[in-house]
């Protein structure tokens, strides 16, 4: 079942639990003058995600479809959204646009440089290019500066079916997910390099109040501490 919950002012978490993967797949809708959808989910989830969006706004008014990296749970239904919403445009890193998205998508993406800012009306966003954090060369995250929400994709992933909101307890669940993955066929799905720690420190310096993670509960609280603690978990389990 797909659910939708407001996890920050005018920020809605859309989540579908897939038992076969023991994992939730989440998307985030930002309601504003130019609505933004962060992550689309896989193509097969499009009808459910569209119907969830329709509970908040007219889906045809989505203006921006943003995501971290080129992967099916990040942007698998991008073209379905570009077809449904005539003004919609993908927004991703320059690397993502050049290497994958502009060849795949029905319309060219808006390629975002590291540190580039844009607004959707009342909301002010800043893009950070984070190669291989969480993974893939083209990876990046969006920080919504107005309310302090970091759309951090696979960072802080928790397995299982989780409630919309959580706090410090999520770090232990994230650690367990990393440990479990290292034992199976998905080992090393998150790379650990000499850039991982500095990249996480850079994100922690933003002092986010909400971490909108794709898989699992959204973190509310001291986001800077959570990200630094996550860095230590990564170093312990993956380093």
Residue ranges of domains in the chain: 2-238
Distance CA 71, CA 100 (A): 10
Cα-only R_g, the chain? 16
Q: According to the model, what pLDDT value does residue 221 have?
A: 97
Q: What are phi and psi of 58, to 5 degrees?
A: -70, 115
| CATH code for the domain defined by 2-238 | 3.60.15.10
Global pTM? 0.97
Spatial contact of 227 and 203, defined as CB atoms under 8 Å apart = yes
Residue 107: the pLDDT is: 97
Confidence of residue 184 (pLDDT cuts 50, 70, 90): confident
Confidence of residue 227 (pLDDT cuts 50, 70, 90): very high
Q: Give 229's pLDDT tier (boundaries 50, 70, 90).
A: very high
Q: What is the phi/psi pair of residue 39, to 5°?
A: 75, 145
User: pLDDT confidence of 192, banded at 50, 70, 90?
Assistant: very high
Length in residues, the chain = 239
Mean pLDDT of 87-98: 98
Task: List CB contacts of 203: < 8 A, sequence separation 6 or more.
Answer: 128, 130, 141, 143, 150, 152, 227
Q: CA 237, CA 204: separation in Å to the nearest integer?
A: 20
Q: For the segment 32-55, what is each residue's pLDDT rounded down to a tens digit?
A: 999 999 999 999 999 999 999 999
pLDDT on residue 228: 98
Percent over 70 (pLDDT), the chain: 100
Per residue in 131-169, pLDDT (tens digit) is: 999 999 999 999 999 999 999 999 999 999 999 999 999
* Assigned token pair, 151: 């759309």
Torsional sign, CA 104, 128, 84, 6: positive
Q: Taking residues 197-210, what's their average pLDDT?
A: 98
Residue among 105, 88, 80, 98 nearest 36 (CA) = 88
3 state SS of 144 = strand
What count of other Cβ atoms lies within 10 Å of the Cβ of residue 53?
Answer: 25
């Amino acid at each position: 079942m797909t659910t939708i919950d407001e996890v920050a002012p005018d920020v809605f978490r859309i989540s579908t639990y897939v038992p076969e993967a023991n994992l939730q797949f989440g998307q985030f809708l930002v309601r504003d003058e130019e609505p933004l959808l962060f992550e689309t989910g896989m193509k097969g989830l499009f009808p459910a995600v569209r119907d969830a969006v329709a509970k908040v706004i007219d889906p045809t008014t989505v203006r921006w479809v943003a995501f971290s990296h080129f992967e099916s749970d990040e942007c698998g239904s991008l073209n379905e959204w570009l077809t449904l919403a005539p003004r919609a445009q993908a927004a991703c890193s320059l690397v993502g646009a050049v290497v994958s998205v502009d060849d795949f998508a029905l319309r060219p993406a808006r390629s975002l440089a590291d540190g580039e800012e844009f607004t959707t009306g009342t909301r002010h966003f800043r893009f950070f290019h984070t190669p291989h954090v969480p993974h893939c060369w083209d990876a990046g995250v969006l920080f919504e500066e107005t309310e302090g929400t970091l759309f951090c994709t696979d960072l802080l992933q928790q397995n299982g079916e989780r409630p919309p909101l959580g706090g410090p307890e999520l770090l232990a669940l994230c650690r367990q997910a990393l440990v479990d993955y290292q034992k199976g066929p998905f080992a090393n799905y998150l790379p650990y390099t000499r850039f991982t720690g500095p990249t996480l420190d850079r994100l922690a310096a933003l002092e986010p109040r909400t971490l909108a993670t794709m898989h699992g509960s959204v973190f509310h609280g001291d986001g800077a501490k959570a990200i630094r603690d996550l860095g230590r978990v990564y170093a312990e389990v993956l380093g």
